[in-house]
Homo-oligomer: A and B are copies of this chain.
Amino acid sequence: METHKERNTFNFKEYMIEKANYVNKAMDEAVSVKNPPKIHEAMRYSLLAGGKRVRPMLCIAACELVGGHQSAAMPAACAVEMIHTMSLIHDDLPCMDNDDLRRGKPTNHKVFGEDVAVLAGDSLLAFAFEFIVTAANMVPPNRVLEAVGELAKAIGTEGLVAGQVVDLSCTGNNTNVGLPQLEFIHIHKTAALLEASVVLGAILGGGSDEQVEKLRTFARKIGLLFQVVDDILDVTKSSEELGKTAGKDLMADKATYPKLLGLDQAREFAEKLNEEAKEQLAEFDSDKAAPLIALADYIAHRQN
């Protein structure tokens, strides 16, 4: 009885800390300070800056949900965080969003210079692919290759880059930006990599095609949710609470969900996305699905 009860009481906080430690240790070892030191220090500065590790957690949780061991997902979990970090470094550059503060610290180019920041992003991007290949020690090579293709797609002109390009072209020009365009930006800039995180975990964990597609839909919903909540936090929290510059969307006159829908309706939309996401998990074992359900709730209700 006691054991049964324990199994049902999923401790999300413990789970987050355990997985974050697991991934942080792996990334710390994977990107050590080697020659030339400056570029490795720049990569480590942003990679090990204490992010929430939501993407690696999604990757590992999806892998475990379909019956895989977390070690099968570990190279991909680190890879998606490397890609996320790379996109933050490049997006923060003066020629892009020109941001000085990230995760409560000066941005990469503020510390290492623009040239090294560009190169740190490039090498994190490349290293993500070098590292994900190591999954072939435990996973059939065709599955690892599928994961490589999925990850690449999430970065380029069907993913992060597409979102950033359209976002940049809309900045200061938000009178023409309606909901469809805003959704395009968020789906590409944020949801694509969250989707890849979940899908990579499911592929490397040995999931069936049907399971992978269920989890893909789940991930798309929480991906959009993630950004809607980000928009809400930007207008309701201080820079200190967020660890990054708050109110930036307003200052840049950017289209956001609170701006287009109003704050209350944006919050309702977020709740709806969360419910629709969790419906995708209905056919999985509920104990095993607990981490992903908790992650969806966490993304919906996080305060920074």
Using a CB–CB cutoff of 8 Å, the interface residues on chain A facing chain B are: 34-36, 38-40, 43, 86, 90, 93, 95-96, 113-116, 118-119, 121-123, 125-127, 129-130, 133, 136, 140-142, 144-145, 148-149, 151-153, 155-157, 159-162, 164-166, 168-169
**Interface SS of chain A:** helix
| Cross-chain contact of A130 among B35, B152, B166 (Cβ < 8 A) | B152
CB of A153 within 8 A of CB of B169, answer no
Given the complex, which residues of B lie within 8 Å of A169, measured CB to CB?
Answer: 36, 38
Given the complex, which residues of B lie within 8 Å of A127, measured CB to CB?
Answer: 152, 156-157
CA distance A118 to B119 in the complex (A): 11
CA distance A121 to B155 in the complex (A): 12
CA distance A65 to B126 in the complex (A): 28
Knowing A129-B129, A165-B36, the reply to whether A118 touches B90 (Cβ < 8 A) is yes
Knowing A123-B157, A133-B148, A161-B126, the reply to whether A118 touches B96 (Cβ < 8 A) is yes
Knowing A34-B157, A145-B145, the reply to whether A165 touches B133 (Cβ < 8 A) is no
CB of B95 within 8 A of CB of A114, answer yes
CB of B152 within 8 A of CB of A126, answer yes
Nearest residue (CB) in B for A145 is: B141
CB of B164 within 8 A of CB of A119, answer yes
| Cross-chain contact of A36 among B116, B125, B129, B157 (Cβ < 8 A) | B157
| Cross-chain contact of A95 among B118, B149, B166 (Cβ < 8 A) | B118
